[in-house]
Amino acid sequence: MDEAPKPVGGTDYPATWSQFLEWFGNEAVCARNLERVRWPGGFACTACGVVGEPYRASRGD
């Protein structure tokens, strides 16, 4: 099984608290970044292999 590429600080995630606050103005922006880091080629289900948009749910806020 191929390993996913490792995230790079300052590129894939902020290196400082100030960068964090600049990069992630809200939870949706943060979620999109995490998806990009986790699935650089787009979302693919590990169970069935289907490629598409990841399922997103709210916490009920």
What confidence tens digit (pLDDT) does each residue in 38-61 have? Answer: 888 888 888 888 888 877 777 765
What is the total count of domains within the chain? 1
pLDDT for residue 28: 85
Compute CA distances 35 → 28, 53, 58, whole Å. 11, 10, 15
pLDDT tens across 11-30, in order? Answer: 777 888 898 888 888 888 88
Domain that holds residue 6: 1-61
Q: In the chain, helix, strand, coil percent, each to 5?
A: 30, 5, 60
| pTM listed for this prediction | 0.57
